[in-house]
Amino acid sequence: MKILNITYEIVVLVNLLVSIYMLVKGKSEQQFHFYIYLSMVTVLDIIFPIIKLKEVINSNYLFFIFILISYLYFFYFFRENFPEKIYRNIWTLVFSVFFCITFILQTKYNFAELSSFTLALLPLFYIFGSMGWFVYVLNQKVEGAIFDKMSFWISCGLLIWSVFFLFRGLPMYYFNNFDPAFLKSISKIFTMVNIITYSLFLRSLFCEK
């Protein structure tokens, strides 16, 4: 498990370094300022555990903030990839519904734990965005090869991550109480999924807008 975690951290850091390089080279807008999202992931998954900030601050608060910022970032990301007004309007509506429901539901719960609904809504939001982009591409004449588009690799990564997160995140509390060994096995698989996801993200950084 330790090797998997280290591999995941390395892949995330490489993503961040490449995105910062793009920023320095003045290509950050071309890459939809992806360094913002990657910086957040680096802080939450790598820096905070090192400085043990999670022992001082309730980690559920940190993860909830991460969820809200993820909503905002990928709303921006997919909106920029929907040139058609109708797609933008639909995506804005989807974002508003998911963001508001997540915020309202979680604030009703004690932050001793994150609501299962809160955990489920983010991957569902990613699935809506990714599938919406694929529908858009299939129905519109898009210039260039699809494999040369950053949004293709990001959408694939989000779809893979979302499907596995739903299987891992939703029954998390149940397995933690009744079958922690099985939960540990799922966590290993999910770490591998994270590595695959961020490898796809890394590939996306070498694409044109």
Contact 192, 165 (CB under 8 A): no
Q: Which residues partner with 208 through β-bridges?
A: 149
Q: From CA 208, how far away is CA 65, in angstroms rounded?
A: 30
Contact 2, 191 (CB under 8 A): no
Helices 34-42, 2-24: inter-axial angle, 10-degree rounding: 150
pLDDT string in tens for the chain (209-residue length): 688 899 999 999 999 999 999 888 887 777 889 999 999 999 988 888 888 665 555 677 888 889 999 999 999 999 999 988 999 999 999 999 999 999 888 887 766 677 778 888 999 999 999 999 999 988 876 677 888 899 999 999 999 999 988 877 666 655 555 556 666 777 788 899 999 999 999 999 998 76
Q: From CA 209, how far away is CA 83, in angstroms rounded?
A: 13
Q: At residue 87, what is the residue type?
A: Y
